[in-house]
Amino acid sequence: MSYRRTRAMFVKELHHITRDARSLTMALAMPVMMLLLYGYALSLDVDHIRTLIYDQDGTEASRSLMRQFQGSRYFQVDGFVDNYAAIERGIDSNTTLVGVVIPRDFGKDLRSGRSATVQLLLDGSDSNTASIAMGYAESVVQTYSAEVRADVQNLRTGRRPAPPVDARMRVWYNSSLESKNYVVPGLIAVILMIIAGQLTSLTIAREWDNGTMEQILSTPLRPAEIVLGKMGAYFVVGLTDATIALVMGQVVFGVPFRGSFLVLAISTCLFLCGALFWGIFISAAARNQVAAYQLGILTTFLPGFLMSGFVFALDTMPKAIQAISVIVPARYFVTVVKDVFLKGLGLRVIWAELVFLAIYATIVFLLSVRKMNQKVA
């Protein structure tokens, strides 16, 4: 393999990229658009839950419980109603997620020491959001219940009882529990997977469609040199996209970066090599640009988005899907990016993911060269 021939192929492909200003602009603008769209739109935070309260008791105890909901940052009390029909209309019109019903004799039961009940009505059409909202509501009620018990004990004995367990919670790595700190690093990995695969999935198929591949094959270039030259040109574009995404993640979204830029650079280079080689393999295997584009979408966007652990936890998926995700490189790069961004981990912890990315890039490179050999033959 000749360095001069590989470099010539690299320069030729780089000139082709820079001459196509429209495609280059789209390649550089895509990470910006996707980060802005998904970074702001894809939020896993459940707060400001639209709530209606139906107070049938009308006592100081029920009003105190209502103030607990009004003071919680997770609930947005839109109003107080006097019948179930109003709550039902709110849920049916998607303007209310939670209805809190405080029954009659609520305050009387509390004063007499009996268990008092509170009814929660939820819109279960979005089961995930409903379950989170129910957990928040139960927490508000339980906190209020503990305060009431403490007040009753204080009246009876003259002192407040100490809690049997003093639980103190500390959240590591994402103490504010903001979903953007979790979403944006994973989104950077998914964006690079999609862009890298799409950039190179058309490169060789386009040469065949335009009739220029015959000219390339008439030169002394070998298949490995063609693959490396083309990959190198798009590698520059991919690194530019990665830099744009990294800067936006920190400047626009304020995601903390606690790790090493060197570790992130090494992992990004390994991942980009594998993703770009995969795109070249698709382009060499497909017969035309349409087939190459469709195959590129099928093998980059869907696995990268659904089977990388970016949004959906892999542990909750069926065993068959978990087994397939083992060979999805985005799964390992998402883990690396999140660990470097949020946890500040280094090579000592994430070396296994980097080894997989290196092995994957090597295997896909060999497959691409073999497929090019078959095309040349």
Position 355 scores a pLDDT of: 94
Q: Where are the domains of the chain?
A: 3-43+178-376, 49-157
Considering only CA atoms, which of 301, 366, 355 is closest in space to residue 333? Answer: 355
Return the residue matching tokens 């970066």.
Answer: 257
Residue 209 has pLDDT above 80, yes or no: no
Quick: pLDDT tens for 323-363.
888 888 888 998 899 889 888 888 888 999 999 999 999 99
Position 44 scores a pLDDT of: 65
Burial of 313 (C-beta count, 10 Å sphere; 0-12/13-18/19+): exposed
Helix, strand, coil distribution of the chain in percent, nearest 5: 70, 5, 25
- pTM to 2 decimals? 0.76
What's the 3-state SS for 304-324? HHHCCCCCCCHHHCCHHHHHH
| Contact criterion met (CB below 8 Å) for 259 and 350 | no
| CATH code for the domain defined by 49-157 | 3.40.1710.10
Q: Which of 138-142, 219-223, 243-247 has the lowest mean pLDDT?
A: 219-223
Q: Which of 59-68, 169-178, 279-288 has the lowest mean pLDDT?
A: 169-178
Considering only CA atoms, which of 279, 265, 210 is closest in space to residue 20? Answer: 210
The upper half-sphere exposure of residue 243, i.e. CA atoms within 13 Å in the direction of its Cβ, equals 7
**What's the rounded Cα separation, in Å, for the pair 148 and 115?**
11
Work out the average pLDDT over 89-94.
89
**What's the rounded Cα separation, in Å, for the pair 170 and 59?**
37
Position 153 scores a pLDDT of: 63
Q: Which two tokens stand for residue 81?
A: 């109603």
Work out the average pLDDT over 211-238.
81
Grade residue 99 by pLDDT with cuts at 50, 70 and 90: very high
Q: What is the dihedral of CA 306, 287, 206, 295, to 10 degrees?
A: 0
Decide the pairing of beta strands 119-122 and 98-102: antiparallel
**What's the rounded Cα separation, in Å, for the pair 322 and 302?**
14
| Contact criterion met (CB below 8 Å) for 370 and 227 | no
Work out the average pLDDT over 124-143.
84
Grade residue 268 by pLDDT with cuts at 50, 70 and 90: very high
